[in-house]
Structure 1
Amino acid sequence: MEMSSDLIKENHHLLQTCILYEVLQKTPIFDSYRSFCDTVGPDAMSYPDFLFWYLRFCRGELDFDYDRSVDPEPKTLMDMPVKLMPKIAKNLDPVERALLRSMNHAIKTVADSFPPAFEKIKIVVSDTSLDWNLNNQSFSCFKKGSGCTLYKRNCSTVEESEECYIKKSLEYLTPLLRVPNLQVNHLSLYFFDETPNFDDRLLVPLNAKSVFIWGRTTKKVVQFLSAMNPGYLESISLKFIFQREREHYRMIYETDQFKQAKNMKLKSPWESFNVEDLVNFSHLEKFKCYLTSENTFQDVPRIRDTISTFKKLESCEMVYFGLRDNPPITAFVDALGAEIPIGPLKEGEQLSITYRYQIPESNSCLEFKIKQNSEHTCRVNIVKLR
């Protein structure tokens, strides 16, 4: 007849005997407690109480009837000298500090006195998984049936959960992203599928200097761009795969994030900008984009004249597509009034032309470097020389 674990739980001496057995077996404390809980149940004794008796038995103090009420009140984390708390918080990485601040209000205040700063954060969301990288720490949460599996790639820990993979991932991400004054040098967001349950939780103001957002639609991309704190954000790179209406670009131009940025890169394989769009880039120091023209002879001088008025411009790069030109580099150079070098190209060499344009009433000039990019496009790099 097996003895019920309930009988052991009700007898304090039997519980102590179980602990003494683990000590005599020289089982490590944490493994001992795990074995103890497996035998008599996790609610039989708390870990601090188990630790107390385990350490007494290790010292050879075997009095089962020892009166613990005569002992001084045990110290807690909050009993440590106040000056030690900032030292502890300072030596933690941003992820550890985010966990520390959740312990209690006093520690939260100390942790928040050290604003977390990340070199890079990358978040990738699909309909089956959510991956995130925090500097050199990597995490992946995969959909598994109605639940999920969480991997921490820098260690062997694998966690199974009955929760949705989105919800489980946000248990880690949301507290971190909501830490006051969180700073990120580069933030990357990839949204391969529509994930409405994820969007609202991630849309929190962030201090990111540089951001790359990859989404299926302009609306999705702009939604997350608008969560970045304007003014702090300097560089924006956007890519969307289902962009059909050029009017949607206006959604980008109207954001404070775009208006206050210094650098911009916009790319869509479905649609390019045209000459009229360039005026929206006048406040930028650097930008990259695709540009399409139906009339190279008319549009290239307009490109040159428009860009020459940009006071803050340092450089820009365009992949130019002349709809009626083949090859477009010849038409582009002719429209600038530059000369095409005479003579054959070396094997593997692509045609490249450099042209300088003196900006009227200025000591500065624009240097154009035009190279053949493909059969239907040429790459135009423009630098302002002062």
Structure 2
Amino acid sequence: MELSSDFIQENQHFLRSCILYEVLQKKPIFDSYRNFCYTVGKDAMEYPDFEFWYYRFYQGDLDLDYDRSADPEPKALVDMPVALMKKITQNLDPVERTRLRTMNHAIKDVSDSFPPVFQKIEVSITDKELLWTLNNKSFSCFKEGSGSIRYKPNSSRYEKSKKFYIKNGLEHLALVQKMPNFQVNHVSVEVYDDTPNDVDLLPAPFNAKSAFILCHNMNQVVKTLSALNPGNLEKINIKMVFSRAPLAHHGRILETVQFKQAKRVDFPMSMEFNVENLANFSHLKSFECHMMSENGIQDVLRIRDIITTFEEFESCELDYMVRSDDFPILVFAEALGEEIRIRPFAEGKHRTITHRYQIPESTECLEFKIKEEEYHCLVNIIKTR
């Protein structure tokens, strides 16, 4: 039962006697303080004062009338020497520094002097939960009615909120993203269901070197891709969930600054490209994509001739199909002038082609390694000297 504030202020001996009782019970200080607050009220005494009396009694000094006014002013956390603050801060990981910087301005300034660099940040969203991982620390936010429940990493402790579960979780992720000089080597965003249009899957810009994006529709892909700062982004891997996007939609990705400044890009089989799209890949060092051919032999030669003009090119893998031919490897063989066994191999065996093409007026070559699959073939092209 909580006591009145007037009674507590007038009976400091009573409060100290309660603390002495907790000490005599040999309970840990945090358990003692929790029990103390439950007994006399949460506002009866601040923890630093409780701690003073607890350890005084614990050391055998049982004077309840001790006058603290003559004691030196207690040191606060902000009174800590800057050198010591830096020593503590540099031994914390980026996630721990995120919490530390919220304590006060002095500690925030010291914490921000160490650029937060994460190895990976992963975000996964379903129709019931949002999970995110910062390095090796996992967070979660679950849908509960119109609100949500958010769990802290490596803990069963949780906080309830009236906010929509996606917004609640992303707001806490944004605290990390907004740290000065925030950087991450790899970011992964996986969305397995449609999300409201007003939800930004990455609420603040990401300085990431590589990104994996798995989304339910093209709007989610473009919105997420646009949140990645193009100056740092080198590799992009995009996949679609249960969707075969129309060819006309691919232009939205190819027009982004992120794609135009990337060095390596992987596209899924659910996204078809044609030979005309290949010119958009001229700035890339490597890429993977699904390519549909309309004109067979003519398209094979166009692929070869277009790639010879790519100055930055190192390698690519094409999942190649011919719309009117069930054996595209035969088309490649004829176009490149290579002989190949016409009769299919036994089950489990695959026809292959290796072909070298000397790039005109150059010491470099394109090496083609082609492997037949059912109704399509995998074409690996490497630039060699």
Give the Cα separation in 1 of the matches to 2:327 and 2:293: 13
1:114-125 paired onto structure 2 within 5 Å: 114-125=114-125
1:188 aligns with 2:188: yes
**Which residue pairs with 1:172 in the alignment?**
172
**What letter matches 2:4 in structure 1?**
D
2: CA distance, partners of 1:212 / 1:27: 50
Is residue 378 of structure 1 aligned with residue 362 of structure 2? no
1:309 maps to 2:315: no
Conservation of the 8 A alpha-carbon contact between 2:148 and 2:162: yes
Per-residue deviation, 1:76: 0.7
- Distance of aligned partners of 1:195 and 1:69 in 2 relative to their CA distance in 1, 3 Å threshold: farther
Q: Specify the alignment match of 1:6 in structure 2.
A: 4
Q: Cα–Cα, structure 1 residues 199 and 147, in superposed 2: closer, same or farther, change >3 Å?
A: closer
Extract unaligned runs of 5+ from structure 2.
none
Deviations 1:313-343 (A, max 9, x none): 0000010111111122222222222121578
What displacement does 1:345 show?
4.3
Deviation at 1:31, TM superposition (A): 0.5
Q: Determine the structure 2 residue equivalent to 1:366.
A: 366
Contact residue 166 and residue 198 of structure 1 kept, 8 A: no
Deviation of residue 5 (structure 1)?
3.0
Aligned partner of 2:158: which letter?
Answer: E
| Distance in 2, Cα, partners of 1:198 & 1:207 | 22
Shift of 1:244: 3.4
How many pairs does the alignment contain?
A: 381
Which range moved further: 346-355 or 210-219? Answer: 346-355
Q: Does 1:263 align with 2:264?
A: yes
Q: Which residue of 1 aligns with 2:276?
A: 276
Aligned to 1:247: 248
Task: Check conservation: 1:146, 1:162, Cα contact below 8 A.
Answer: no
More deviation in 5-14 or 352-361?
5-14
Q: Report matched runs for 1:71-110 at 5 Å.
A: 71-110=71-110
CA pair 4-279 structure 1, distance change in 2 beyond 3 A: closer
Pick closer, same or farther for the CA change 1:146–1:285 going to 2, 3 Å: same
Q: How far apart, in 1, do the equivalents of 2:136 and 2:61 lie?
A: 47
Listed as ranges, the matches of 1:188-337 within 5 Å are: 188-196=188-196, 199-200=199-200, 202-241=202-241, 242-269=243-270, 271-337=271-337
Residue range with higher mean Cα deviation, 321-330 or 236-245: 236-245
What is the deviation of 1:281?
0.2
- Give the partner amino acid of 2:72: P
Deviations 1:23-71 (A, max 9, x none): 0000000000111112222122111111111111112222222222111
- Structure 1 contact 183–208 (Cα < 8 Å) conserved: yes
Give me the whole-angstrom Cα distance separating, in 2, the residues matched to 1:34 and 1:142.
29
TM-score, normalization: structure 2?
A: 0.93
Residue 73 of structure 2 aligns to which amino acid in structure 1?
A: E
Q: Alpha carbons of 1:4 and 1:355: their partners in 2 closer, same or farther (altered >3 Å)?
A: closer
Query: Residue type matched to 2:255 in 1?
Result: E
Query: Offset of 1:113 from its aligned partner?
Result: 1.3
In structure 2, the partner of 1:50 is 50
* Separation in 1, partners of 2:142, 2:311: 49
Structure 1 unaligned residues grouped into runs of 5+: none
TM-align CA RMSD: 2.1
- Asked if structure 2 preserves the Cα contact closer than 8 Å seen for 1:16 and 1:53, the reply is yes
Provide closer, same or farther for how the CA distance between residues 197 and 334 of structure 1 changes in structure 2, counting only shifts above 3 A. closer
Q: Is the 8 A contact 1:102 1:108 kept in 2?
A: yes
Q: Secondary structure at the match of 1:349?
A: coil
Amino acid across the alignment from 1:259: K
Q: Within 2, Cα distance between the matches of 1:352 and 1:197?
A: 47
Which amino acid is 2:258 matched to?
A: Q
Q: Identity percentage over the alignment?
A: 57
Give 1:88 shift.
Answer: 1.3
1:101-180 equivalences under 5 Å are 101-152=101-152, 155-164=154-163, 165-180=165-180
Deviation at 1:147?
A: 3.8
Letter in 2 for 1:172: H
- SS in structure 2 opposite 1:250? helix
Q: 1: distance between equivalents of 2:28 and 2:285?
A: 61
Deviation string 1:254-296 (CA, Å, 9 cap, x unpaired) is: 2221111110112252x40000000000010000000001221
- Residue 151 of structure 1: how far off its partner (Å): 3.7
1:243 is displaced (CA, Å) by 4.9
